[in-house]
Structure 1
């Protein structure tokens, strides 16, 4: 049955307007360094809170995506030219913001021979050179089987390698038609095989038409692939052109999924209506690294 969009969002999805001060300073810095952020491009509901804390998820490889996923608000079309100075500008911004943890994502760039993998590597290298104490989390596309792409990015040793499954396998044809569920799952598995010390992470959305048993199966698939972190958030329809919302899951349902996910062995679980991939990423990573004692071992281990 085709999901039916509910016009009015429930109270638990309402967010406060951002206050001035740090939010405006973050906005000015992003503009000054000519950076794109997924916070803006994807119309994230948490932008006010995150920017007020000087946290922004940078989106590299331009602002135009080569795919058209039914849930995503990022523009689709002819991609921007690759900017060779983007890694340097990003590193300068990280240093100026004094970030202890940075999250880097990107649009899909199926037009590039490596899918944009080398740009991820250069960003990691520049940030490490400019701000060695900053931990780095990346959220990559699937690179559509570009030879050596996953290996190159994982060999740059990010502290966290994130790749979102987004939804359950049954819905891929309508929600994420340019991707394949088991290819995305295998990507996460390959990162772990190559460098076991890298924390791997993935996320899904509720409200696209999935069933509970399917969500639980996704959890099991991710644990089989050795994934450490899981995020679960509510899908919000960006425009009437996008996939409709099947339902708004209540907070207690997210809490139950979090309990189940922790029981299945995930080291970190963030599940709430407003959870997004990079929401509270710094706090979550810091707590996990502190409790596990692994910290920056990913950078130091010669074998991964």
Structure 2
């Protein structure tokens, strides 16, 4: 049975919290004319993450050439390419004092390389200005062009993320132009070309998939060598987007986490409000073998609230 946002269960209700860090971060982004996926995609975790001075930069503008039926980012025809953007991102990383930066983008199918060179320039700019900062990139599929993937890998991000988003059966109806097998091939080739770079992907649930299909998607991602998996609840951003078919419970997300770990993922972040870059720096620590017991109490509390720890 389809449920609307007004009927969301209690565990999906986010409380507004705009503290000094949130306001400071918003000022930094506007001052540098930068975009964040936190804002553009209407992420429910924006108040929590920004208050902890964590944000996901969205490069290559704020207009996407695709129109995925789950995504709130504006779609249309981009008007320009800002080649000064990588330097501004790096400056902001320094000003924020980040230890782990996440860089994503709109899809830019209008560009010959899909924006791969700008991703690479952004990685290198951050490395130059803040060499101790970890860099994670969440890339589009570049229409399957291996040379564009190689451009990004040559800049040596610490983590290469590309989201499969949903199960095979629903992929064509949920994603615009993207292909389920193309995503798997990109992740597989990334691991083959640079086995030293961790790979990551994300699944949304609540779009009408079955549990068996989610587990099949996990198997497909592990077969492609993916190291880190995130599983989160799909939430309808506007009335124009796909309806929510099911709200999964925190207990069901814990089961997904267990299934993922059994399949050999180095880390699985699974919870109702989990998104691809949710507490990304902690995901890296856990994937690297840091035991849960050594996390701070604050980190434990946040993971439990998200349903991300058993």
Whether the TM-score (by the shorter chain) exceeds 0.5 is yes
2-structure distance, mates of 1:82, 1:176: 24
- How high is the TM-score relative to the length of structure 1? 0.93
Question: Which residue does 1:61 correspond to in 2?
Answer: 60
Correspondence for 2:283: 284
Distance in 2, matches of 1:273 and 1:67, equals 26
1:290 Cα shift?
A: 5.5
User: What is the CA deviation profile of residues 3-44 of structure 1, one whole-angstrom value per residue up to 9, with x for unaligned ones?
Assistant: 734341110001121232111001111111110000000000
Residue pair 1:94, 1:102 contacting (<8 A) in 2 also = yes
RMSD between aligned residues: 1.2
From 1, 4, 8, give the equivalent of 2:2: 4
Matches within 5 A, 1:21-36: 21-36=20-35
Query: Unaligned regions of 5+ residues in structure 2, if any?
Result: 292-310
Equivalent position SS for 1:248: coil
Check conservation: 2:235, 2:244, Cα contact below 8 A: yes
Greater Cα offset, 14-23 or 117-126: 14-23
Match of 2:173 in 1: 174
Could you tell me how far 1:78 is from its partner in structure 2? 1.2
State the match for 1:15 in structure 2.
Answer: 14
* Whole-angstrom distance in 2 between the partners of 1:121 and 1:129: 12
Match of 1:119 in 2: 118
Q: Which residue of 1 aligns with 2:296?
A: none
Matched positions, count: 290
Describe how 1:60-209 pairs up with structure 2 within 5 A: 60-146=59-145, 148-209=147-208
Contact kept in structure 1, 2:267 and 2:286, CA below 8 Å: no
Q: Distance in 2 between matches of 1:172 and 1:290?
A: 32
- Cα drift, residue 147 of structure 1: 5.2
Distance 2:169 2:176 in 1: 11
* Equivalent residue number for residue 295 of structure 1: none
Long gaps (5+) in structure 1: 293-304
Query: For the residues of structure 1 that align with 2:59 and 2:33, how far apart are their CA atoms?
Result: 11
Deviations 1:56-115 (A, max 9, x none): 100000000000000000000111311010000000000000000000000000000000
- Tell me which residue corresponds to 2:219: 220
Instruction: Supply the distance in 2 between the matched residues of 1:238 and 1:49 (Cα, whole angstroms).
Output: 18
CA contact (8 A) 2:2 2:246 kept: yes
Residue range with higher mean Cα deviation, 106-115 or 147-156: 147-156
SS at match of 1:76: coil
CA distance in 2, matches of 1:290, 1:164: 23
In structure 2, relative to structure 1, the CA distance for the partners of 1:290 and 1:253 (3 Å cut) is closer
Is the contact made by 1:114 and 1:147 (CA closer than 8 Å) also made in structure 2?
no
Please say if residues 91 and 131 of structure 1, whose CA atoms lie closer than 8 Å, have aligned partners that are also in contact.
yes
Normalising by structure 2, we get a TM-score of: 0.91
Distance 2:196 2:144 in 1: 23
